[in-house]
A and B are shown apart, each in its own frame.
Chain A
Amino acid sequence: MTLNRRSFLGTGLALGAALSAPRAIGQARPRVVIVGGGAGGATAARYIAKDSGGMIDVTLIEPSRSYFTCFFSNLYIGGYRDLDSIAHTYGTLASAHGVNVVHDWVTGVDREARTVSTAAGHGFAYDRLIVAPGIDFVDESVPGWSTAAQNRMPHSWKAGSQTQLLKAQIEAMPEGGLFAMVAPPNPFRCPPGPYERISMVAHVLRDRNPTAKILVLDPKSSFSKQALFEEGWEKHYPGMIERIGPDFGGANVSVDPDAMTVTVDGSVEKVDVCNVIPAQKAGHIAQVAGLTDGSGFCPIVPATMQSRIDETVHILGDATIAGDMPKSAFSANSQAKVAAMAVRAALTGSRAFPAKFSNTCWSLIDTDDGVKVGASYQATEEKIAKVDGFVSQTGEDAGLRKATYEESLGWYAGITADIFG
């Protein structure tokens, strides 16, 4: 006999007991619902399911059946990877770890009732909620651009069809054409990412279209690995790349996607491809759930990744204000393990250990010319603080750079197995 809701409600005596102790009788296992199946959300799902040995009911809600990693999507643009190699699915999380994987959009969170609702009309109750929605773009941050224009001027800052589109546009550029990038202001996903992308675009153009030019319009006066990128651009792509910083109008940029022009400090420039990477904020659902502050991102408790607004909610990755940690898949993966431990400790009484965080970002400048930056972080009361770090040096020999690139390939294999199983 199956006990469905109707027959259960029909037994009047049982109803009173169920209402007084719903968790003990209604469902035996504590429930964790995870919103977002990227580097943060999928890692948390995997670690909670795996390490709780079935004691916690884990549901992961993610709209995409195939997840394209933003990390290494620049290498796809550069021709070093095919698109399939950065696509991942959720089958192993379900089959090996028993995660309930639901492909749907979360449209609402009722934090009083502890339920989330989805576009398909389903509801999920939780004891702990993990929110890992990544980023969304700030409207009007680049005047003239909106997501309605993303096919004319792709952002390609969420990987998949946007990355494919940008690659196709670069390869179809007229001889001697102009590629422009509108770089984002801080804080944004993947600090060295725009500059690795510029390197990969230059790599493609040097082979296919060597008289083409690249223009970077940048509202920031400095950026990550700047000395390394500038040295590499000079060495591998001399004369091809021009970067305009805020002193020369890089912060005063508008675009016209129909006319394919960019306007810098009042002067209009015709462009052939324009990659607009707008200003960023936490993924929309974080705002809908009331978990963001005035910055557009989510304040968290460093030791557990709990929301400072609601202790039954943990937030991961790009959507958070993670102190000194940059927004990266590595950071999200690292934070997810801290959150998974805290969630298990809260729901099953498992042992909790001190939080440790780390991050490394590899970037490819040209074939076999890899560089990296990394740091370790610890929780203080106030924030996640950087305590140690390293960065590749200018002038390193080719052997070391090649080894650094090969290390990044090993890292990709390692972290994707760690995230998706």
Chain B
Amino acid sequence: MIGLVFHCMLSRMREAIAFVLALALGGAGQGLAGETAKAIGDPEAGAEVWIFCSGCHQIGPDAEAGIGPPLTGIFGRRMGSIEGFPYSRSMTRMGRDGLVWSLETLDAYIENPRVLVSGTRMSFDGLENPTERADLLAFLREFSDKPSNIPEAAPTARADRPVLSEATLAIVGDPAYGEYLSSECTTCHQRDGSDRGIPSITLWPDEDFVVAMHAYKQKLRPHPVMQMMASRLSDEEIAALAAYFGKLGL
């Protein structure tokens, strides 16, 4: 019964993924991804860009509100959340809706403030040059919590993310590569296939394994640890893991 439900779920997921894949066409031919992260930008160059901001904003351990709010600890902060600062109604509403300043939201805001927050009081036309924005973000990031001390603090680099290709399900996995990658999985999942609070992942049919991992990657399956792990695996890597775990212990 459970097996049946599971198979129904899988076939629905295959359909969902086929749909997503159709949307993601054009990424065919991408090679191994996820090799190295990219730095956000050059914080020293960002310090030069900061001069334009510093007329209104302060940053650093003793920063206070000026014309604009202080930007120390901006990464991970809810929008419009500095107590007593006279934010625009739009900005306050963004915060109430739960929006948080991240690399993505800050980048969009700095590029064109009104695109993200239509009624913002920040009188700034936006910074078109993506390199200057990246450098500024790298500079700002230095003044927020460090993940080594507070693991949940915002990322300090951009992952080199893989792109889905149409041929995903046809990839033949390399079990030797899968064995290497598997060491990350077996920190939690038992290599002998037993299920103790964390499910077994051995001896699955390759295709089921691949589909399940892409479902995490597309955030169709909800578990946050698995979403994170899957999100940085390339198609080849997922196929390799499927090939390895599919025969483990036989």
Q: Which residues of A contact B (CB under 8 A)?
A: 47, 51, 186-187, 191-192, 220, 222-225, 303, 322-327, 330, 333-334, 337, 341, 351, 353-354, 356, 358-361, 372-380, 382, 385-391, 406-411, 413-415, 417-418
Contacts and interface: CB of A to CB of B under 8 A. Distances in A.
B58 interface: no
A336 B196 CA distance: 24
Contacts of B143: none
A322 B146 CA distance: 12
Interface stretch (B1-9, B35-43, B79-87, B117-125): B35-43
Interface in B23-45: 32, 34-39
A50 to B, nearest CB: 10
B152 A389 contact: yes
Given A353-B181, A376-B229, A225 B34 contact: no
A348 B249 CA distance: 26
A48 B117 CA distance: 53
Contact of B184 (A47, A325, A337, A406): A337
B151 A407 contact: no
Interface in B184-228: 184, 186-191, 196-198, 224-225, 227-228
B198 A356 contact: no
B38 to A, nearest CB: 7
Q: Is the interface of A mostly helix, strand, loop or mixed?
A: mixed
Given A353-B177, A378-B34, A382-B39, A360 B159 contact: no
27 contacts: A186-B146, A187-B148, A187-B149, A223-B150, A224-B152, A324-B156, A334-B187, A353-B177, A356-B232, A358-B184, A358-B228, A378-B34, A378-B36, A378-B160, A380-B37, A385-B156, A389-B151, A389-B155, A391-B151, A391-B152, A409-B197, A410-B188, A413-B196, A414-B198, A417-B191, A418-B183, A418-B187
Interface of B: 32, 34-39, 145-160, 176-177, 179-181, 183-184, 186-191, 196-198, 224-225, 227-229, 231-232
B197 A222 contact: no
A376 B232 contact: yes
A224 B159 contact: no
Contacts of A341: 180
A377 B145 CA distance: 16
Contacts of B181: 353, 356
Nearest to B177: A353
Given A186-B149, A303-B36, 16 more contacts: A324-B147, A327-B148, A337-B184, A354-B34, A359-B151, A378-B37, A380-B39, A385-B155, A387-B158, A388-B159, A388-B231, A391-B152, A408-B197, A410-B196, A413-B190, A417-B186
Contacts of A388: 155, 159, 228, 231-232
Contacts of A377: 37
Contacts of B145: 222
Which of A47, A187, A353 gathers the greatest number of chain B CB atoms within 10 Å?
A: A353
Nearest to B73: A222
Given A187-B149, A222-B150, A379 B37 contact: yes
Contacts of B232: 356, 376, 378, 387-388
Contact of A323 (B36, B148, B188, B228): B148
A277 to B, nearest CB: 14
B31 to A, nearest CB: 12
A348 B143 CA distance: 44
Contacts of A334: 184, 187
Contacts of A372: 225
Contacts of B37: 377-380, 385, 387
Contacts of A378: 34-37, 157, 159-160, 232
Given A187-B149, A389-B151, A390-B228, A333 B187 contact: yes
B198 A411 contact: yes
A356 B39 CA distance: 16
Given A389-B151, A391-B152, A409 B196 contact: yes
A356 B197 CA distance: 25
A55 B148 CA distance: 36
B152 A414 contact: no
B213 to A, nearest CB: 15
A187 B155 CA distance: 18
A337 B180 CA distance: 9
A323 B227 CA distance: 23
A356 B185 CA distance: 12
A47 B183 CA distance: 9
A287 to B, nearest CB: 20
Contact of A379 (B36, B149, B155, B180): B36
B149 A373 contact: no
B176 A407 contact: no
B151 A376 contact: no
Contacts of A225: 152
B149 A326 contact: yes
A379 B160 CA distance: 11
A324 B75 CA distance: 15
A390 B224 contact: yes
A323 B197 CA distance: 31
Nearest to A228: B152
A379 B156 CA distance: 11
A51 B183 CA distance: 11
Given A191-B151, A222-B150, A354-B35, A374 B188 contact: no
B156 A414 contact: no
